[in-house]
Structure 1
Amino acid sequence: MFKNVIVRVPSKNISEGITSVDEGKPIYEKALVQHENYVSALTKAGVNVTVLEPKDDFPDSCFVEDVALCTSKCAIITRPGALSRQEEANLPDMLEALTQFYDTIEYITEPGTVEAGDIMMVGDHFYIGLSERTNIDGANQMIAILEKHGLSGEVVELSEVLHLKTGLSYLENNHLLVSGEFKTAPQFEAFNKIAIDDDEAYGANCIWVNDYVLVPKGYPKVQQKIEALGYNVIVVDTSEFRKIDGGLSCLSLRF
């Protein structure tokens, strides 16, 4: 069960965020409303939400998932692979927020890079995607820190997606949403895999929060498959965040 969530209000410069898609620039006012609705959905799922102030020097800073990994034993400050985001991991208010909940804070150091959008937690085990943003040095540092605290991790090679959790979502109870390259990845054979069609691939990024599953708006087949598993679904519009490579998981730290 998750008790706490940390989010950050979108920057007024969100339209300058990094993107690999050609879907136009996000509209700040719409992003704000969508973010407020996201926080409301999390609250409905029964967690305490800490809301951090926007940081206008960092257009991508609403994607707090990438700058820290929150485990049952410690928080790990990452070192993002995107140069424009590396200072986000050092913002004092994020560290202050994490120290409210954790006695132990660990750090990924140079030359390692890790963005926690590449990390999927399954109980005490963590799958770490190697991507343009997460390198092998960063992944090995992360695994060493996890093992130091009695947890475990393993590396997953990526070839098609930006982040591991772009194409995977663990919904607890051994259910795993899979899209694209992950449908046949050998690491995930033991899961009950729910295959996501290519035309709804973005919908593979959902989040489980205390028996609720937040699902992005506009992906009815994904929604139906999750409802068929017996979960309570909350649909959240993330269209403005999609324009800068963001999804539901990117917008929060959940622990």
Structure 2
Amino acid sequence: MVRALVRRPGPRLADGLLTHLDRVPVNVELAGRQWRDYVAALAAEGWEVHEVPPADECPDAVFVEDTVVVHDDLAVITRPGADERRPETAATEASLRSLGYRIAHIQAPGTLDGGDVLRVGKTVWVGLSGRTNRAGADQLAALLTPAGLEVQPVPVRAVLHLKSAVTALPDGTVLGHPPLVDDPAVWSTFLAVPEESGAHVVRLAEDAVLMAADAPRTRALLAERGLRVVAVDISEFIKLEGCVTCLSVRLR
């Protein structure tokens, strides 16, 4: 059974940090309904969902992916690049300890956001962004290399996180919206998609992915490739530079 960590949005969600987008009104009540629908979609796929205790004082805490990188039974607690987000990690660590995970930490001067970490097979791509630095990437490499993984840093300039630009299909194909991808040639198999939100998928199974509902052309493209696509409305989180990957952490 696949397990996932999630964290419900708090009352200060609309105050979340923005880097590449202008601030627009966020409907916090609607965001709560969308989050519940997102969690329900995971549960409908047979996932066992574990909720990290809420952090109402942290506007961005719903984006739980940024607080940890998980491989097998190892949970690497991140050191987010934004100072305001560092208090989010303690409850994630406590939740994973309770589930029996080994814990490691990214230490200063390293910074690392989980949204900058994309695993494709045995390769772990780490975006060097405004939130993740080389020291953080190097520390992650030191933790994951003994497990047989290869960590490859890649520059990220046009978007907040690496996974704001690219994610991977179950077969390892990397997909992205070309205007937001610094160098598509980095990946040996790259699929250009016509919508920004189409670049973001969560692997549900070997033949299924979860994606945002506002990318119908990409949804059709993936369906043509034989994938079953589950679409969810996350419009309020997109206003805060969020995407479907940000809202959960896939566990073993």
Task: Tell me the equivalent position of 1:201.
Answer: 196
Work out whether residues 183 and 195 of structure 1, in 8 Å CA contact, stay in contact via their aligned partners in 2.
no
Higher alpha-carbon deviation: 100-109 or 77-86: 100-109
1:240 aligns with 2:236: yes
Please list every run of 5 or more consecutive structure 1 residues that lacks an aligned counterpart in the other structure: none
Higher alpha-carbon deviation: 218-227 or 178-187: 178-187
**What is the 5 A alignment of 1:68-217?**
68-91=68-91, 94-180=92-178, 181-182=180-181, 184-188=183-187, 190-191=188-189, 193-197=190-194, 200-210=195-205, 211-217=207-213
> C-alpha distance in 2, partners of 1:213/1:4?
15
> C-alpha distance in 1, partners of 2:182/2:129?
18
Gap change, CA 1:203 and 1:89, over 3 Å in 2: same
Higher alpha-carbon deviation: 144-153 or 165-174: 144-153
Higher alpha-carbon deviation: 48-57 or 174-183: 174-183
Task: Tell me the equivalent position of 1:11.
Answer: 10
| Offset of residue 171 of structure 1 | 1.0
Task: Tell me the equivalent position of 1:55.
Answer: 55
> C-alpha distance in 2, partners of 1:23/1:45?
34
| Offset of residue 131 of structure 1 | 0.2
Work out whether residues 156 and 182 of structure 2, in 8 Å CA contact, stay in contact via their aligned partners in 1.
no
Higher alpha-carbon deviation: 235-244 or 144-153: 144-153
1:161-185 CA-to-partner distances (Å, cap 9, x unmatched) read 1100011111121322122253843
Gap change, CA 1:73 and 1:29, over 3 Å in 2: same
> C-alpha distance in 2, partners of 1:228/1:102?
40
> C-alpha distance in 2, partners of 1:235/1:23?
25
> What SS is found at the alignment partner of 1:81?
coil
Aligned residue pairs total: 248
Alpha-carbon RMSD across the aligned residues, in angstroms, is 1.6
> What SS is found at the alignment partner of 2:109?
coil
> C-alpha distance in 1, partners of 2:46/2:167?
20
> C-alpha distance in 2, partners of 1:177/1:23?
27
> C-alpha distance in 2, partners of 1:217/1:185?
24
Aligned residue identity for 2:83 = L
> C-alpha distance in 2, partners of 1:162/1:95?
24
Work out whether residues 7 and 62 of structure 1, in 8 Å CA contact, stay in contact via their aligned partners in 2.
yes
> C-alpha distance in 1, partners of 2:98/2:120?
24
TM-score (norm 2): 0.93
> C-alpha distance in 2, partners of 1:230/1:175?
13
